[in-house]
């Protein structure tokens, strides 16, 4: 009953949107995430079947309960009448002309709407790195290292941008090879106002390009959580450049690029569902973070000497900015301002909420108190885990994924790390590696065609649809990310170690990286 | 002339200050300090890692007074700073040889 009603609503709103926005738009809308059009037709098929059973009661309920729908019904009806009369009578050239004009205007209107949302999303994702992540990490380090960790995030905002313009975008999204892009769009050749129909048919390719750039910026920035308080700035810069080229670019192409062997909608062998970067962003950065922590070794004095966060106020502010920015990250990954974006927005928010609760509940049981650091760490863990799932799961599974991620990452950070004794200073692996991995696997379980029929109309998507094989595909995607990150990072660390060096001297580490690496201090509060 | 050094709970500072004002003592030097006596510290937990914080925040007052005021000042501090729990602090008294006012080079008790 409830479900029937839901499907019915979906159908009605879906068809209204179709009439308004999609008439006349050519069928080239094959973005990496299917658009509302697909969702509409699939949802309507299901609801047609159920309609026979629950038709009358649902209709009464909907009309009574949802005034909005009642308002839409006449509009839909009149649109239907118009098209019926147009097809039955003679069509004069003037009418055809007008229709063509109308089609163009509708296309332009949709493009404007999508572009507006995507530009905002791109800005939101940049906000996640600076100030979001910079504040989050900045508060967690000791006072003497606050600028150094913030500077690493900021440097990446500049560095990766230049790399992206030169070759990065092309290596991720050029060509259609299985493992990595090509140089076809190097120096952003041909990237302008015309959409790239393979990826996002309704927005200028410049928008798509700059949106994807923001992902490439935050991903390496996440790793700095593991290397915090002991890695040289010069070593960090070289490491990040190489890491972007060797690990990020291939992984992004394999999952999101046309022909990539993990791509779910553009001809991949093992279609991996990764809506906004569970594997591409979080597993790669998290696993690389673990490798870095092991290779660099522990900080001087760890774990004997207390190293409490110097300002949880900064971390708290940063985490809240991350939460808000994540709406651009996940809902923006619909690459359009459509129903799928709303669905991803909701899932993202729900996942963050239950993960914060999960972490706090675990703390409450263990320590007798819920902490602010626990709540924000949990929220970030939930946002990580819901990232691959956002555009595939319904709100209820999103609540579940978040809660599981909150508990699992709590265990990873408080227990697992202690057992193995590695010094992942700010828990980049415990939150991003662990959260990304469990999120990617749970995506295979919880993805539903009702939300996103990515494999075609009527085809099952995830385990809840009965397609348990998808969990296997997800496993292939996760393993690929793990192996690429492990091998790539070890090689890069070796190269950087023998060239510019990785770790600061012990004296410099004790004095603090702000002074020794940058010649300044975060706080000069005394007169 | 005697110097009184009183280390007290930060939460009692305002009432100590008021009590001293009441008996006519207007000058004092106040410092925020950290330390511990028998109280020891407390435990903080960050992402499962426990830290014992040994040094607790305290407030240190320093006053130099003419001999006849010292007993009343000590009484005032004792009354206003006491909570009855461990960690209330201590008062130290010591003799002061000389006091000089920088502005006009006055010496002795009149410089206080």
pLDDT of residue B107: 94
Cα distances (Å, whole numbers) of residue B43 to A306, B49, B55: 11, 10, 11
CB pair distance less than 8 Å for B52 and A306: yes
> Given phi > 0 = left and psi -120 to 50 = alpha, else beta, which region is A381?
alpha
Task: Please write the tens of the pLDDT for every residue from A222-232.
Answer: 999 999 999 99
pLDDT band at residue B43 using 50, 70 and 90 as cut-offs: confident
The distance of B16 to chain A (nearest Cα, Å) reads: 27
Task: Please write the tens of the pLDDT for every residue from B79-97.
Answer: 999 998 888 999 999 999 9
The distance of B35 to chain A (nearest Cα, Å) reads: 17
CB pair distance less than 8 Å for A309 and B46: yes
pLDDT of residue A31: 42
ipTM of the complex: 0.71
Q: Average of pLDDT values for A440-463?
A: 96
Task: Please write the tens of the pLDDT for every residue from A277-290.
Answer: 999 999 999 999 99
pLDDT of residue B60: 96
Domain region containing B93: 2-111
pLDDT band at residue A525 using 50, 70 and 90 as cut-offs: confident
Q: Which of A367, A410, A418 sits opposite B45 (nearest CB)?
A: A367
pLDDT band at residue A88 using 50, 70 and 90 as cut-offs: low
A303 touches chain B (CB under 8 A): yes
Phi, psi at A10, each rounded to 5°: -60, -40
CB pair distance less than 8 Å for A308 and B47: no
Say if pTM beats, i.e. exceeds, 0.95: no
| Least reliable range by pLDDT among A376-380, A450-454, B51-55 | B51-55
∠ CA A323-A326-A328, nearest 5°, is 135
Locate A492 and state its tokens: 């890069």
Which chain B residue shows the shortest CA-CA distance from A376?
A: B47
Whether the ω angle into residue A214 lies within 30 degrees of 0, i.e. cis, is no
Task: Please write the tens of the pLDDT for every residue from A100-153.
Answer: 999 999 999 999 999 999 999 999 999 999 999 999 999 999 999 999 999 999
Query: Contacts of residue B46 in chain A, CB cutoff 8 Å?
Result: 308-309, 371, 373
Which chain B residue shows the shortest CA-CA distance from A372?
A: B46
Query: Contacts of residue A418 in chain B, CB cutoff 8 Å?
Result: 48
pLDDT of residue A73: 42
pLDDT band at residue B51 using 50, 70 and 90 as cut-offs: confident
Mutate which: A313, A414, A431, vs B, most B CBs within 10 A: A414
Query: Contacts of residue B47 in chain A, CB cutoff 8 Å?
Result: 373-374, 377, 413-414, 427
pLDDT of residue A54: 46
Answer with the residue of higher pLDDT: A79 or A333: A333
Locate A267 and state its tokens: 């001809």
End-to-end CA distance of chain B: 9
Q: What CATH number does residue B54 fall under?
A: 3.30.70.120
Helix (H) or strand (E) holding B45: strand B42-46
pLDDT of A96 over the 90 cut:
yes
pLDDT of residue A67: 39
Cα–Cα distance for residue pair A232/A503, rounded to 1 Å: 5
Q: Which of B48, B51, B53 sits opposite A413 (nearest CB)?
A: B48
Answer with the residue of higher pLDDT: B109 or A408: A408
> Given phi > 0 = left and psi -120 to 50 = alpha, else beta, which region is A226?
alpha
pLDDT band at residue A510 using 50, 70 and 90 as cut-offs: very high
The distance of B10 to chain A (nearest Cα, Å) reads: 21
Q: Are A450 and A209 a contacting pair, CB within 8 Å?
A: no
What percent helix, strand, coil does chain A show, rounded to 5? Answer: 70, 0, 25
pLDDT of residue A295: 97
∠ CA A386-A389-A395, nearest 5°, is 80
Task: Please write the tens of the pLDDT for every residue from B20-35.
Answer: 999 999 889 999 999 8
Cα distances (Å, whole numbers) of residue A333 to A180, A203, A517, B26: 21, 13, 37, 66
Q: Which of B46, B51, B52 sits opposite A373 (nearest CB)?
A: B46
Cα–Cα distance for residue pair A85/A104, rounded to 1 Å: 22
Task: Please write the tens of the pLDDT for every residue from A456-496.
Answer: 998 999 999 999 999 999 999 999 999 999 999 999 999 99
How many structural domains are present in chain B?
1
pLDDT of residue A50: 52
The distance of A76 to chain B (nearest Cα, Å) reads: 54
Query: Contacts of residue B53 in chain A, CB cutoff 8 Å?
Result: 306
pLDDT band at residue B4 using 50, 70 and 90 as cut-offs: very high
The distance of A419 to chain B (nearest Cα, Å) reads: 12
Which chain B residue shows the shortest CA-CA distance from A377?
A: B47
pLDDT of residue B48: 86
pLDDT of residue A527: 52
Cα distances (Å, whole numbers) of residue B1 to B23, B95, B97, B111: 17, 6, 7, 11
């Amino acid at each position: 009953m409830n479900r029937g009603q839901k499907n019915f609503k979906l159908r009605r709103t879906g068809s209204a949107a179709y009439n308004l926005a999609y008439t006349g738009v050519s069928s080239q809308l094959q973005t990496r995430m299917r658009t509302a059009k697909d969702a509409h037709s699939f949802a309507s098929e299901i609801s047609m079947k159920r309609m026979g059973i629950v038709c009358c009661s649902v209709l009464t309920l909907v009309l009574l309960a949802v005034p909005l729908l009642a308002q839409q019904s006449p509009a839909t009806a009149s649109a239907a009448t118009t098209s019926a009369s147009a097809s039955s009578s003679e069509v004069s050239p003037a009418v055809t002309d007008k229709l063509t004009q109308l089609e163009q205007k509708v296309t332009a209107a949709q493009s404007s709407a999508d572009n507006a949302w995507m530009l905002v999303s791109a800005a939101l994702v940049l906000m996640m790195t600076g100030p979001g992540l910079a504040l989050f990490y900045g508060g967690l380090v000791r006072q003497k290292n606050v600028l150094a960790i913030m500077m690493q995030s900021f440097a990446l905002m500049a560095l990766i941008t230049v790399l992206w313009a030169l070759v990065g975008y092309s290596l991720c999204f050029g060509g259609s090879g299985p493992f990595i892009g090509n140089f076809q769009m190097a120096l952003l050749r041909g990237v302008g106002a015309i959409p790239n129909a393979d990826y996002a048919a309704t927005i200028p390719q410049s928008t798509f390009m700059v949106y994807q750039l923001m992902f490439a910026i935050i991903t390496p920035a996440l790793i700095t959580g593991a290397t915090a308080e002991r890695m040289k700035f010069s070593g960090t810069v070289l490491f990040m450049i190489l890491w972007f080229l060797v690990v990020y670019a291939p992984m992004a192409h394999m999952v999101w690029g046309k022909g990539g062997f993990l791509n779910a909608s553009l001809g991949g062998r093992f279609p991996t569902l990764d809506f906004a970067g569970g594997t591409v962003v979080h597993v790669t950065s998290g696993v690389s973070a673990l490798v870095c922590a092991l290779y660099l070794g522990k900080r001087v004095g760890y774990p004997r000497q207390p190293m409490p966060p110097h300002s949880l106020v900064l971390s708290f502010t940063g985490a809240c900015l991350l939460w808000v920015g994540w709406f651009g990250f996940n809902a923006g990954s619909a690459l359009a301002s459509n129903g799928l974006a709303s669905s991803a927005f909701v899932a993202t928010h729900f996942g963050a909420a239950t993960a914060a609760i999960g972490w706090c509940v675990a703390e409450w049981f263990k320590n007798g108190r819920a902490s602010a650091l626990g709540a924000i760490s949990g929220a970030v863990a939930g946002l990580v885990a819901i990232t691959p799932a956002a555009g595939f799961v319904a709100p209820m599974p999103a609540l579940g994924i978040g809660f599981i991620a909150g508990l699992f990452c709590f265990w990873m950070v408080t227990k697992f790390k202690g057992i193995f004794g590695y010094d992942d200073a700010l828990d980049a692996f415990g939150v991003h590696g662990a959260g990304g991995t469990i999120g990617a696997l749970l995506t295979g379980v919880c993805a539903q065609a009702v939300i996103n029929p990515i494999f075609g109309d009527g085809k099952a998507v995830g385990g809840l649809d009965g397609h348990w094989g998808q969990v296997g595909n997800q496993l292939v995607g996760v393993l690929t990310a793990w192996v690429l990150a492990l091998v790539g990072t070890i090689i890069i660390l070796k190269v950087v170690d023998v060239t510019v060096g990785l770790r600061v001297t012990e004296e410099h580490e004790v004095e603090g990286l702000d002074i020794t690496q940058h010649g300044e201090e975060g706080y000069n509060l005394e007169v | 002339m005697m110097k009184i050094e009183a280390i007290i709970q930060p939460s009692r500072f305002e009432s100590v200050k008021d009590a001293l004002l009441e008996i006519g003592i207007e000058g004092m030097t106040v410092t925020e300090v950290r330390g511990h006596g028998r109280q020891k510290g407390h435990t903080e937990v960050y992402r499962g890692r426990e830290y014992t914080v040994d040094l607790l925040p305290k407030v240190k007052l320093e006053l130099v007074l003419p001999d006849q005021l010292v007993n009343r000042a000590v009484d005032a501090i004792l009354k206003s700073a006491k909570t009855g729990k461990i960690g209330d602090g201590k008062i130290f008294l010591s003799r002061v040889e000389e006091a000089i006012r920088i502005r006009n080079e006055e010496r002795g008790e009149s410089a206080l």
